């Protein structure tokens, strides 16, 4: 097990370098970022040259990349164009987005898996049909439609919540945005769980457990659900990374100042330091989430062993 | 049916649960003179320093926080003395500035002549990377501390001299009669010693001498400004303070306004213009601002720099149905342009309605005739470049092209040429890589006709993106700048504008309005000529 983890961690290194290099190159081909800093006016050439020097933009790209990576390993992610340290931006943005992601993942787990179990055990019944249709609708509607509709109904028309989230972004204000962010994945989790439960409920070990006279509850939770969760855990695990990075739309609608917002600003202003820094961290989150998923397999199904 | 009832119950439960958790939150306390106004804001692009702020989001903060020698009247745009007792000159080149007594910064430090001279030297110095450094380029000695190449050879400009606490002199490197009127620009604000002694601390919590002081500043999300009780100016704050809240999207800000969660939105999104009357009634403001949009041409491209091309440009101008586009696409938040300045200047300031004459009137038949006489569109096709990332430029560029195509009876005569990002668009312009007309916008720095003409059309000027050059225009501008009489200067500038018209150096499209909406909690809201709300006049309750 330990050797497996180490091997996986070592594999992350080339992935990490490859991903950051790609992002670095992509941001760089977008053109000269300094030219955009002066608005509709032309930058004074002397000041522009001075700024380029300060941000290291006058050097060739490979050299910029090396310097950048060198700094990253000392914990220095550079400075955004508005003079703030990128690490400072991260320390305000990541906690907010992590909270939002937690809310979203909780919704996925609690609602998604419960609905999946309920429908999986009642295949073909009206409940099953209704939930299947609902999930289909949710998957079909883009997130910004759900987001804007909920904001308008719950926030503006009924006045139940505030339509936007305050800068501190406490958990209670993140409920509706979290639900919106989770919605599509939630529908997938429901469907995945349902199929998996439906399949496994005919398995021999379930029949044996029932025949032994175990209580129904124990059969479902201990035997049926545990074995059915593997595909669901895979999905939720990879979804954590996707949710953090993909929160741009939701964060924009509800005015949440998280990772999505900072990335959007960074791209718009072509601030290489901001974009590369945030994406680097997101890549790490994604890699770690994948590792944890793989390790969870062994917990859920002891037959899976990593030597 | 049973399923439906269940769903209803579930929805009800969710709503109740949310209601229980969503209470509390920051209602702003009190009305009257202590009431706090919450207003939408965008994250400023640059650190908040007077000489480093060149966009409207940072600019509005400086307008609350700082007061300079002059201030532009929020209604008329006229430059009025603020900290300046008087600014004297006999030759339009040497100026003596005398300060009023008794002004201090909010940390108690006195505002002296040195506060100005130090701030200006800091702003002009190349070392400090200030994006507005060129504002000081008229002062003698600017070249030494802001050379085109290499490092500065000094720390101060030779044209600035402190005489005593209340007086300093300025020597310009050319005659510039209306120069004192430029001093209301935020870059010319004085700075306290704290700025130089502990720069990082100042930038995280700026100290100024304006009607408000910074209470707290959380970068990227909220800036709380509070009324400064000891402010000595006449434009004291009539509310307790302003909370500027950063919004990721102006649509979201508008939603918050309609939900009663925000008091003031100073940028009504285009998509909401249809609803704004129904939502806000007369709490919607739509007034002219000092912004004009034009189509500029690349004169470095030989095909556009021929004597006949002027006819083609006039023809293109006549093929654009400005009235229709401003009404349908912009919902009347733009006004068709008939000169190259802005209505906010007023008649006395140099705005002259109809100066463009026939050339700005829509007339498809004449347009076709002019373009044919001029030898047709260079290259056979007009490609209007714009940046596609912000500002919904695609809509109007497509409409302009449509209008031109209809006039010429050729649906391939004009196409839009989107560029991915604003930065890329700007870098193509500065590297003179444009092959056809491109969108150009000009927001005035100060309400002077000089600012609408010289930076844009003078040979080699800083924002002359098309590299247009005309000796007669340059001569007239020089003459206007040398005039000591303001009315005479304005008349000379208008004569210069006539040259721009005759050559159709750039096609004027429309003047842009500022638009704002506010809640019924506040009153006395207006926008100044820079389309920034006049915050200190807002009343709560």
Examine the domain organization and report whether B364 and B503 are in the same domain. Answer: yes
Residue of B222, B260, B421 best to disrupt the A interface, most CBs of A under 10 A:
B421
Q: What are the tens digits of pLDDT across the range B88-118?
A: 998 889 999 999 999 999 999 999 999 999 9
Q: How far apart (Å, rounded) are the C-alpha atoms in residues B541 and B520?
A: 8
Comparing alpha-carbon positions, the chain A residue that sits nearest to B46 is A82
Structure tokens at B509: 């499209």
pLDDT at B6 over 80: no
pLDDT at B7 over 70: no
Q: What is the pLDDT of residue B13?
A: 46
Q: How far apart (Å, rounded) are the C-alpha atoms in residues A198 and B197?
A: 71
Q: How many domains does chain B have?
A: 2
Examine the domain organization and report whether B168 and B299 are in the same domain. Answer: no
Examine the domain organization and report whether B168 and B314 are in the same domain. Answer: no
pLDDT at B480 over 70: yes
Structure tokens at B96: 């003596």
Examine the domain organization and report whether B293 and B160 are in the same domain. Answer: no
- CB B222 to CB A167 under 8 A? yes
- CB B131 to CB A47 under 8 A? yes
By percentage, how much of chain A surpasses pLDDT 90? 40
Q: What are the tens digits of pLDDT across the range A7-28?
A: 888 988 898 888 888 888 888 7
Examine the domain organization and report whether B187 and B294 are in the same domain. Answer: no
- CB A155 to CB B255 under 8 A? yes
Taking residue B101's Cβ as centre, other Cβ atoms within 10 Å add up to: 10
pTM for this entry: 0.85
Q: A 180-239 residues with CB below 8 A of B?
A: none
- Domain boundaries of chain A, sorted by first residue: 2-72, 87-300
CATH number at residue B439: 3.10.105.10
Q: What is the pLDDT of residue B248?
A: 82
- CB B19 to CB A160 under 8 A? yes
Q: Specify the 3-state DSSP secondary structure of B356.
A: coil
Taking residue B171's Cβ as centre, other Cβ atoms within 10 Å add up to: 16
Examine the domain organization and report whether B164 and B293 are in the same domain. Answer: no
Q: How far apart (Å, rounded) are the C-alpha atoms in residues B46 and A38?
A: 10
Looking at B175, B191, B207, the residue that finishes a domain is: B191
Examine the domain organization and report whether B173 and B293 are in the same domain. Answer: no
Examine the domain organization and report whether B308 and B445 are in the same domain. Answer: yes
Residue B308 falls inside a structural domain:
yes
Q: What are the tens digits of pLDDT across the range B235-290?
A: 999 999 999 999 988 889 999 999 999 999 988 887 888 889 899 999 999 998 99
Q: Percentages helix, strand, coil for chain A, rounded to the nearest 5?
A: 75, 0, 25
Taking residue A252's Cβ as centre, other Cβ atoms within 10 Å add up to: 19
Q: What are the tens digits of pLDDT across the range A55-100?
A: 888 888 888 888 888 888 888 888 888 888 899 999 999 999 999 9
Examine the domain organization and report whether B476 and B343 are in the same domain. Answer: yes
Look up the CATH superfamily of A87-300.
MetI-like (1.10.3720.10)
Q: What are the tens digits of pLDDT across the range B116-143?
A: 999 999 999 999 989 899 899 999 999 9
Examine the domain organization and report whether B316 and B463 are in the same domain. Answer: yes
Domain range for B417:
289-513
pLDDT at B15 over 70: no
Over range A163-188, report the average pLDDT. 91
pLDDT at A241 over 90: no
Q: What is the pLDDT of residue B139?
A: 96
Residue B214 falls inside a structural domain:
no
Q: How far apart (Å, rounded) are the C-alpha atoms in residues B63 and B50?
A: 10
Summary mean pLDDT of chain A: 88
Q: What are the tens digits of pLDDT across the range A115-142?
A: 999 999 998 899 999 999 999 999 999 9
Over range B54-70, report the average pLDDT. 92
Over range A267-280, report the average pLDDT. 85
Is the complex ipTM higher than 0.90? no
CA B285, distance to chain mean position in Å, is 18
Over range B291-316, report the average pLDDT. 93
Of A39, A83, A172, the CB nearest to B21: A172
Q: What is the pLDDT of residue B30?
A: 60
Does an H or E element contain B116, and which? helix B113-124
Structure tokens at A302: 């002891």
pLDDT at A246 over 80: no
Q: How far apart (Å, rounded) are the C-alpha atoms in residues A184 and A187?
A: 5
Q: How far apart (Å, rounded) are the C-alpha atoms in residues A212 and A221?
A: 16
Measured on CA atoms in the order A288, A290, A292, A298, is the torsion positive or negative? Answer: negative
φ/ψ of residue B330, rounded to 5: -100, 5
- The set of long-range contacts for B268-271, using a CB threshold of 8 Å and a minimum separation of 24, is B268/B515, B268/B516, B268/B517, B270/B330, B270/B331, B270/B333, B270/B392
Question: Among candidates A133, A67, A89, which has minimal Cα distance to A259?
Answer: A89
Residue B323 falls inside a structural domain:
yes
Residue B235 falls inside a structural domain:
no
pLDDT at A307 over 60: no
pLDDT at B2 over 70: no
Residue A35 and residue B426 in contact, taking contact as beta carbons nearer than 8 Å: yes
Of B44, B247, B258, the CB nearest to A82: B44
Alpha helices in B230-307 (DSSP H): 250-258, 276-280
Over range B330-340, report the average pLDDT. 92
| Per-residue confidence band for B31, with pLDDT thresholds at 50, 70 and 90 | low
- Residue A14 contacts B, CB cutoff 8 Å: no
Measured on CA atoms in the order B326, B327, B332, B335, is the torsion positive or negative? Answer: positive
B368 to chain A, minimum CA–CA distance in Å?
A: 31
């Amino acid at each position: 097990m330990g050797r497996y983890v180490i091997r996986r961690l070592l594999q992350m290194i080339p992935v990490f370098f490859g991903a950051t290099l790609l992002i670095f190159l992509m941001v760089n081909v977008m053109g000269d970022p300094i030219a955009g800093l002066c608005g509709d006016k032309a930058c004074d050439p002397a000041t522009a040259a001075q700024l380029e020097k300060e941000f290291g933009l006058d050097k060739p790209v490979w050299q910029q990349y090396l310097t950048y990576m060198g700094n990253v390993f000392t914990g220095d992610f550079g400075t955004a164009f508005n003079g703030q340290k990128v690490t400072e931006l991260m320390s305000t943005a990541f906690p907010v987005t992590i909270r939002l992601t937690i809310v979203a993942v909780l919704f996925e787990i609690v609602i998604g898996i419960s609905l999946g179990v309920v429908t999986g055990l009642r295949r073909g019944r009206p409940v099953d049909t209704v939930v299947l249709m609902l999930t289909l609708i949710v998957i079909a509607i883009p997130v910004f439609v759900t987001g804007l509709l909920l904001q308008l109904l719950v926030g503006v028309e009924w006045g139940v919540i505030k339509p936007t989230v305050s800068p501190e972004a406490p958990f209670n204000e993140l409920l509706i945005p979290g639900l919106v962010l989770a919605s599509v994945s939630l529908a997938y989790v429901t469907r995945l769980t349902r199929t998996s439960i439906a399949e496994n409920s005919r398995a021999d070990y379930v029949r044996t457990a029932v025949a032994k006279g175990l209580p129904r509850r124990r059969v479902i939770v201990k035997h049926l659900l545990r074995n059915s969760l593997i595909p669901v855990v895979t999905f939720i695990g990879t979804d954590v990374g996707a949710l953090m990075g993909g929160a741009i739309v939701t964060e924009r609608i509800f005015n949440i100042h998280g990772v999505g917002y900072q990335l959007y600003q960074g791209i718009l202003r072509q601030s290489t330091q901001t974009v590369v820094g945030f994406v680097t961290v997101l890549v790490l989150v994604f890699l770690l989430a994948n590792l944890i998923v793989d390790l969870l397999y062994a917990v859920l199904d002891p037959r899976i062993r990593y030597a | 049916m049973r399923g439906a009832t269940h769903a209803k119950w579930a929805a009800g439960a969710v709503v109740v649960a949310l209601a229980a958790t969503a209470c509390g939150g920051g209602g702003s306390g009190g009305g009257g003179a202590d009431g706090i106004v919450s207003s939408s804001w965008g994250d400023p692009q640059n650190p908040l320093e007077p000489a480093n702020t060149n966009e409207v989001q940072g600019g509005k903060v400086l307008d609350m926080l700082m007061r300079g020698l002059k201030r532009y009247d929020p209604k008329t745009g006229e430059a009025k003395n603020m900290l300046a007792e008087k600014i004297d000159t006999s030759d339009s080149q040497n100026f003596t500035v005398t300060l009023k007594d008794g002004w201090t910064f909010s940390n108690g430090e006195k505002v002296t002549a040195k506060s100005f001279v130090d701030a200006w030297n800091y702003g002009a110095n190349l070392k400090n990377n200030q994006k507005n450094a060129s504002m000081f380029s008229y002062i003698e000695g600017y070249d030494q501390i802001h050379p085109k190449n290499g490092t500065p050879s000094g720390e101060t400009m030779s044209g600035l001299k402190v005489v005593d606490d209340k007086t300093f002199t300025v020597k310009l490197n050319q005659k510039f009669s209306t120069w004192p009127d430029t001093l209301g620009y935020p870059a010319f604000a004085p700075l306290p010693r704290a700025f130089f002694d502990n720069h990082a601390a100042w930038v995280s919590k700026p100290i100024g001498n304006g009607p408000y002081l910074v209470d707290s500043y959380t970068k990227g999300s909220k800036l709380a400004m509070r009324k400064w009780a000891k402010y000595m100016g006449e434009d004291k704050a009539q509310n307790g303070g302003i909370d500027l809240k950063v919004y990721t999207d102006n649509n979201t800000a508008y939603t918050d306004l309609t939900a009663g969660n925000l008091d003031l939105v100073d940028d009504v999104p285009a998509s909401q213009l249809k609803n704004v009357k129904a939502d806000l009634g007369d709490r919607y403001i739509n007034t002219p601002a000092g912004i004009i949009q034009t189509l500029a041409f690349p004169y470095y491209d030989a095909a556009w720099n021929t004597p006949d091309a002027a006819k083609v440009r006039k023809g293109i101008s006549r093929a654009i149905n400005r009235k229709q586009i401003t009404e349908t696409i912009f919902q009347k938040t733009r006004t068709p342009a008939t000169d190259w300045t802005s209505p906010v200047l007023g008649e006395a300031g140099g705005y002259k309605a109809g100066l463009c004459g026939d050339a700005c009137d829509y007339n498809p038949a004449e347009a076709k005739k002019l373009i044919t006489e001029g030898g047709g569109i260079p290259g056979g096709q007009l490609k209007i470049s714009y940046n596609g990332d912000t500002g919904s430029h695609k809509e109007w560029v497509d409409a302009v092209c449509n209008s031109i195509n209809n006039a010429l009876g050729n649906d391939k005569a004009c196409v839009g040429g989107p560029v991915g990002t604003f930065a890329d668009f700007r870098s193509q312009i500065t590297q003179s890589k444009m092959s056809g007309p491109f969108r150009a916008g000009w927001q005035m720095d100060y309400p002077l006709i000089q600012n609408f003409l010289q930076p844009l059309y003078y040979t080699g000027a800083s924002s002359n993106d098309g590299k247009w050059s005309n000796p007669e225009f340059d001569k007239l501008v020089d003459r206007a700048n040398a005039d000591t009489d303001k009315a005479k200067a304005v008349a000379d500038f208008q004569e210069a504008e006539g040259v721009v018209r005759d050559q159709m150096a750039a096609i004027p499209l429309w003047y842009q309005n500022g638009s704002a909406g506010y809640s019924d909690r506040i009153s006395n809201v207006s926008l100044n000529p820079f389309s920034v709300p006049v915050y200190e006049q807002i009343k709560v309750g």
